[in-house]
């Protein structure tokens, strides 16, 4: 037990008036090992081969009776390589590639025309790669093309978002995006320090970001979020605090503060990073503590894991009211009955399971030219998967699990049914990160930093013979 804390266990509800608990480096270090992020359960690395032409019950059959739908489009192109990147992307300056890729995405969308109920699209997300690699004409062609197949809406009742690289986003494109119904903008900042930017090959001035942030606000984007990364080469506590101070001046509605996982043996781009510039594990922990403290002292609400929001942002309100959900883009306010993912490597889901497209552009294009879909793997959920999926999402989004609901679902007492899981969680109970009563298992205020660790205890696939080393470290 960490002697920095008393043993009082307080149930957690993210809110502005709730102080964010102090953490010690020792506690963070103990839970810093590799762990999935649980944007899905089972995690995508468990998927098995699956084909779009397979007969019988396939998870996409459930698209026929959805009442709300999410759409995701993966745009894999980027103009230059950021050395920290672990995404599925193609570095190119040849715009023609993007144009023909878009033809394929729209063709793939046609495959869903007969398979999905005409349900309102409550969420549209363009991710990448760099979605703003597309020129305004192609952004319009994409959204209008999707609108011919799916029931796209505009307004405050929908969440249409795009991941934007501030280096590749013109203010005219903000007009186009608003006109197409986009109301959320996510800007990849990472760090403002020039030396860090040089070390990761991603040069972007605070002035560029400021102009885009102000431009997006003037045009009525309801929420602007920044992605920041700690643990990058050349970063230290002082430099990161300066970045955070600049971020606080710009006051984005939401902030994701991600940990950089340096895995050069797995991601080729990361071999371009000078390993001598990498901060040590203890420096990374110090950075995480300093940055989080700075954000929360400035009034941001810590939602859990690595997400922060201004107290007046809908995400912070939703967290306080227990309305958060989670999907492949992280926390969301508008969970739909199903998600259709289009493009190379995109993942879809329905209540019955997951399915994923070919990863490489070549295989994706080849599949679309053939059967018109590119599904290569996926997962059909069993009853046990569904229970654990629900339980993990409850923990990660609502910070509690209602034991009586589990008992009603399984006909077995929680402590009997999850004996092994509760044993795995003992250190978290002892460290005051989790608590329980007769009726619930809950995350404490301090435990919000360790949601992945708590969820992992219920992941039945993680506790077989396989190792966890391929997952990114928590810190
Ligand atoms: S970090 Fe983003 S912009 Fe940079 S290479 Fe990766 S996907 Fe492209």
pLDDT band, very low/low/confident/very high, at 471 (cuts 50, 70, 90): low
Short-list 213, 188, 218, 219, CA closest to 203: 188
| pLDDT tens digits for range 398-449 | 999 999 999 999 999 999 999 999 999 999 999 999 999 999 999 998 898 8
| Ligand 1 center to 230 CA (angstroms) | 16
User: Does residue 100 share a domain with residue 5?
Assistant: no
Residues 176 and 291 in one domain: yes
> What's the gap in Å between 246 CA and the centre of ligand 1?
22
Among 75, 76, 84, 89, name the best residue to mutate to test ligand 1's pocket (greatest count of ligand atoms within 8 A of Cβ).
89
Average pLDDT value for the chain = 90
CATH number for the domain that contains residue 406: 1.10.10.920
C-alpha 49 to ligand 1 mean position (Å): 28
CB of 277 closer than 6 A to ligand 1? Answer: no
pLDDT tens for each residue of 231-247? 999 999 999 999 999 99
64-81 pLDDT per residue, tens: 999 999 999 999 999 999
Atom of ligand 1 nearest to the CA of 80: 5
**Ligand 1 neighbour 129 (Cβ under 6 A):** yes
Is 361 inside any structural domain?
A: no
**Which CATH number covers residue 213?**
3.20.20.70
Are both 73 and 11 inside the same structural domain?
no
pLDDT at residue 15 tops 90: no
Ligand 1 center to residue 79 CA distance, Å? 9
Considering the domain architecture, whether residues 88 and 194 belong to the same structural domain is answered as yes
Q: Is the CB of 189 under 6 A from ligand 1?
A: no
246, 394: one domain? no
Per-residue pLDDT tens digits for 130-171 = 999 999 999 999 999 999 999 999 888 899 999 999 998 999
Residue 48 CA to ligand 1 center (angstroms) comes to: 28
Cα 88 to ligand 1 centroid, rounded to whole Å: 9
What confidence score (pLDDT) does residue 210 get? 97
Ligand 1 atom 4: residue of nearest CA: 82
- Do 473 and 436 lie in one domain? The reply is yes
Residue 37 inside a domain? The answer is no
Looking at 307, 339, 371, the residue that finishes a domain is: 339
Looking at the structure, do residues 400 and 468 belong to the same domain, yes or no?
A: yes
Q: Does the beta carbon of 78 sit less than 6 angstroms from any atom of ligand 1?
A: yes
- The pair of structure tokens assigned to 168 is 């590749």
Q: Say yes or no: 26 and 53 in one domain.
A: no
Residue 7's pLDDT band (cuts 50, 70, 90): very low
Expressed as residue numbers, the domain containing 401 is 1-30+382-475
Question: Are 26 and 130 in the same domain?
Answer: no
Average pLDDT of span 265-274: 94
pTM for the model: 0.90
Domain count, the chain: 2
- Output b/e per residue, 59-77; b: 16+ Cβ within 10 A: bbebbeebebbbbbbbbbb
Q: Are residues 150 and 213 in the same domain?
A: yes
CB 4 within 8 A of CB 21: no
Judge whether 369 lies within some domain. no
140 Cα–ligand 1 center, Å: 22
**Residue 301 and residue 422 share a domain:** no
271-304 confidence digits (pLDDT tens): 999 999 999 988 998 999 899 999 999 999 998 8
Per-residue pLDDT band for 8 (boundaries 50, 70, 90) equals: very low
Q: Which residues pair with 373 in a beta bridge?
A: none
Contacts of 282 (CB under 8 A, 6+ apart): 25, 29
What is the per-residue pLDDT across 170-202, written as a single tens digit (0 to 9) for each?
999 999 999 999 999 999 999 999 999 999 999
**Does the Cβ of 85 fall within 6 Å of ligand 1?**
yes
Same domain, yes or no: 308 and 395: no
User: Would residue 363 count as lying in a domain?
Assistant: no
- Between these two residues, 207 and 303, which has the higher pLDDT value? 207
Answer yes or no: is 203 within a domain: yes
pLDDT tens sequence across 79-120: 999 999 998 899 999 999 999 999 999 999 999 999 999 999
């Amino acid at each position: 037990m960490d002697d920095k804390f008393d043993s009082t266990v307080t149930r957690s509800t993210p809110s502005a008036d709730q102080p964010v608990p102090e953490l010690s480096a020792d506690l963070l270090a103990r839970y810093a090992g590799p762990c999935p992020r649980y944007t899905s359960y089972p995690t995508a690395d468990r998927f098995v081969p699956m084909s779009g032409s397979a007969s019988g019950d396939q998870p996409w059959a459930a698209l026929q009776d959805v009442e709300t739908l999410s759409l995701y489009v993966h745009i894999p192109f980027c103009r230059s390589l950021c050395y920290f990147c672990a995404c599925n992307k193609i570095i190119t300056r040849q715009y023609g590639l993007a144009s023909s890729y878009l033809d394929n995405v729209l063709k793939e969308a046609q495959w869903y025309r007969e398979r999905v109920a005409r349900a309102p699209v409550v969420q549209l997300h363009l991710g990448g790669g760099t979605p703003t690699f597309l020129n305004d004409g192609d952004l319009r062609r994409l959204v209008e093309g999707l609108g011919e197949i799916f029931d796209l809406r505009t307004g405050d009742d929908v969440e249409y978002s795009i991941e934007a690289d501030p280096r590749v986003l013109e203010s005219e494109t903000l007009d186009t995006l608003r006109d197409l119904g986009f109301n959320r903008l996510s800007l990849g900042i990472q760090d403002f320090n020039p030396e860090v930017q040089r070390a990761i090959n991603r040069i972007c001035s605070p002035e560029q970001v400021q102009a885009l942030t102000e431009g997006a606000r003037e045009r009525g984007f309801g929420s602007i979020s920044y992605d920041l990364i700690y643990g990058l080469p050349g970063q230290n506590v002082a430099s990161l605090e300066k970045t955070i101070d600049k971020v606080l001046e710009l006051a984005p509605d939401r902030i994701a503060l991600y940990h950089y996982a340096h895995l050069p043996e797995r991601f080729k781009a990361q071999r371009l990073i000078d390993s001598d510039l990498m901060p040590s594990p203890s420096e990374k922990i110090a950075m995480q503590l300093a940055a989080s403290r700075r954000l929360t002292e400035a009034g941001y609400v810590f939602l859990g894991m690595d997400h922060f929001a201004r107290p007046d942002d809908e995400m912070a309100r939703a967290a306080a009211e227990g309305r958060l959900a989670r999907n492949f883009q992280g926390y969301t306010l508008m969970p739909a009955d199903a998600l259709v993912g289009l493009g190379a490597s995109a993942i879809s889901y329905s209540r019955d399971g997951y399915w994923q497209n070919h990863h490489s552009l070549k295989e994706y294009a080849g599949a679309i030219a053939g059967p018109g879909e590119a599904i290569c793997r996926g997962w059909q959920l069993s009853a046990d998967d569904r229970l654990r999926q629900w339980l993990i999402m409850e923990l990660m989004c609502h910070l509690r699990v209602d034991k009586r609901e589990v008992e009603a679902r399984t006909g077995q007492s929680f402590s009997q049914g999850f004996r092994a899981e509760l044993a795995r969680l003992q250190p978290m109970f002892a460290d005051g990160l989790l608590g329980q009563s007769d009726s619930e298992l809950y995350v404490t205020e301090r435990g919000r930093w360790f949601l992945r660790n708590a969820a992992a205890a219920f992941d039945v696939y993680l506790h077989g013979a396989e190792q966890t080393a391929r997952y990114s470290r928590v810190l």
